[in-house]
Amino acid sequence: MSLPPLSGVAAVVESTADVVPLLDAAAARAGDQAAVAAGDTWSGLMERAGGHLARGVTRLAGRGYGLRVVILVGKGDNGGDGWVAARRLAERGAQARVVSTHPADEPLSDASASARDRWLAAGGRVSWELADLAPALARADVAVDALLGTGASGAPRGAVGDATAALRRARDAGVPVVACDVPSGVGADDGAAPDGAVVADLTVTFGGLKRGLLLHPGAAHAGRVVIGDLGPGYVPPTGTWTALSARGAAPPRLGAAADKRERGVVLVVAGALGTAGAAALSSAGALAAGAGLVTVAVPAPVRTEVAVHHPSAMVHGLPVDADGRLAPEAVEALPDLGGFDAVVAGPGLGHGPGAAAVVAHLRRGARRLVLDADGLNVHRDDPAALAEHAGALVLTPHERELARIGGGADGGDAWAHRVERVPDLARRYDATLVAKGPGTIVAAPDGAVWVTPNGGPALGSGGTGDVLAGMIGAAIAAAAPDAVPEAVARAVWWHAAAGVRAGEGRAARATAVDLLDAVPGVLGELA
């Protein structure tokens, strides 16, 4: 499967495990402490990390001998890794030079001080003045960011801020940058990337994939990511945040004699005058993702329009009011919900009392329900009502909708704090929450969280969310009762991978129809 140039994508997609644990800063520290408790040393861990960093540099450059490398080091253990990498690079014949953001007499941890002293004892070159940095970078083949690690937060400041600014200028001039563990300034926990955060071409991280390297905007700062092993004693605590690999995202296998009803029966309630395409796209998404039977319930005036688009789906007309919107009596005209494994409601459905009544009825009666777009928006004045549902519920908000169902008004604030907000809302509503955007987050009511490792600009075009809603409906229709959240995470993975495929060769010009066309190929490769 082709991979987009996003942080952590290859590390996740190509994993031989079904799921890849995502570490936050606390888990990474606990892993270090576990290794030391098991008999390792801090210097031993630093030697391994620095060795991985040096190998990352030579692999990126394609050589070691004669390679001109500038390593920027801070005063923490991230800087200690940089001192080790400088020595290892010099041993491979590289012309390594360290530039320190702190004075020579700055107190360091024992491990970092030892790494520095070994570099100096070997005759390694070091500059203690930032004035030397720009000329050094101008002559460099590769620059290494070993300034700030997982324990740092916020924008780089002071001398470190000056150093990261110099790194950005050097990269703009064509010097590739390799980051140590995380790019300086990028939040290891949430992927925050304030002004001044380093943009790397390669990030060499240690012990496990840091969560912030998969979440955006941090993912866009990390480049390609490789994970360096820190030894058998490095055992971080088991967390709730993971990402599915291609193996873990594989669709369920069906027997050769599987009946169409075994593949799942889905009802899509969507569309309105002017937005019939949303119903067509959502139903097509359900069919593409493997649903055996799909019925689309739409306002009667657009029934023929939707039927012409998708002869594979059955189309059911619902009554409308004088303005062409769903009438409240549409509730009585809905098909019997007992005949459907899952219901998708909301794409292009519109507003008004009829739409609100239909969605409320579905919340009370559907076995499994996906609420998307207007299925969420009808709750803007009473988001607490989302907690009142009879069956499994899936909510698929984008940034602004996330703010609405969270009781807030500032979409940017909700998205910026999605690491805390999304799992909290999943618990509050006893629902699986899909926070759509770069690095889509899927949170289950029990606290499990998946980050989607792929995606692309194609998913930023109109209608792609409608396709996703239908795909989720198909996935949960065929899922075991206790596996709905996992099925949602798989469907989001398929959708994102199809977005990558749809965007190949089209830049940002792919459409929702291109996305639909890519889904079967993605599922075929995963099966």
Q: What is the mean pLDDT of residues 412-434?
A: 90
Please list, in sequence order, all residues whose beta carbon lies within 8 angstroms of the beta carbon of residue 133, skipping any fewer than 6 positions away. 70, 72, 99, 127, 163, 166
Q: Which residue has the higher pLDDT, 438 or 256?
A: 438
Same domain, 271 and 221: no
Any domain includes 216? yes
Predicted confidence (pLDDT) at residue 411 exceeds the cutoff of 70: no
Q: Which residue type sits at 449? A: V
Task: Determine the pLDDT at residue 2.
Answer: 38
**pLDDT, position 257:** 61
- Helix/strand/coil percentages in the chain, nearest 5: 45, 15, 40
CB-based burial, 9-26: b 16+ in 10 Å, e otherwise: bbbbbebeeebbbbbbbe
Q: Looking at the structure, do residues 174 and 296 belong to the same domain, yes or no?
A: no
- Digit-coded pLDDT (tens) for 48-59: 999 999 999 999
pTM of this prediction? 0.92
CA distance 147 to 164: 8
Interval 317-328: pLDDT, tens = 999 998 889 999
- Whole-number percent of the chain with pLDDT over 90: 81
What is the rounded distance in angstroms from the CA atom of residue 298 to the CA atom of residue 271?
A: 6
pLDDT at 269 over 70: yes
Whether 298 and 434 map to the same domain: the answer is yes
Task: Give whole-number Cα distances, 168 to 98, 152, 157, 196, 363, in Å.
Answer: 17, 19, 15, 8, 51
Last residue of a domain, one of 209, 243, 277: 243
Cβ 57 vs Cβ 49: under 8 Å:
no
pLDDT band at 412 (very low <50, low <70, confident <90, very high): low
User: Using one digit for the tens of pLDDT, what is the confidence trace for 11-53?
Assistant: 665 677 888 999 999 999 999 999 999 999 999 999 999 999 9
Q: Where a domain ends, among 181, 210, 243?
A: 243
Asked if 327 and 319 count as a contact pair (C-beta separation under 8 A), the reply is: yes
Assign residue 380 the CATH number of its domain: 3.40.1190.20
91 shares its domain with 229: yes
Pairing label, strands 432-435, 441-443: antiparallel
Residue ranges at the known binding site for AMP = 436-440, 465
The alpha carbon dihedral of 9, 173, 57, 36 has a sign of: negative
Host domain of residue 494 = 265-526
For residue 316, the cross-strand partners are 297
Distance between CA 378 and CA 244 in Å, rounded?
32
User: Is 206 in the same domain as 299?
Assistant: no
Residues at the binding site for K(+) are 78, 145, 184
Would you give the distance in Å from CA 259 to the centre of its chain? 34
Provide the annotated binding site for (6S)-NADPHX.
77-81, 149-155, 181, 278, 348, 398, 466
What is the structure's pLDDT at 406? 85
Confidence of residue 454 (pLDDT cuts 50, 70, 90): confident
- Do the Cβ atoms of 268 and 286 come closer than 8 Å? yes
Binding residues: 77-81, 145, 149-155, 181, 184, 278, 348, 398, 436-440, 465-466
- Residue 188 scores a pLDDT above 70: yes
Average pLDDT of the residues in 370-399 = 96
258, part of any domain:
no
pLDDT digits 0-9 by tens, 70-92: 999 999 999 999 999 999 999 99
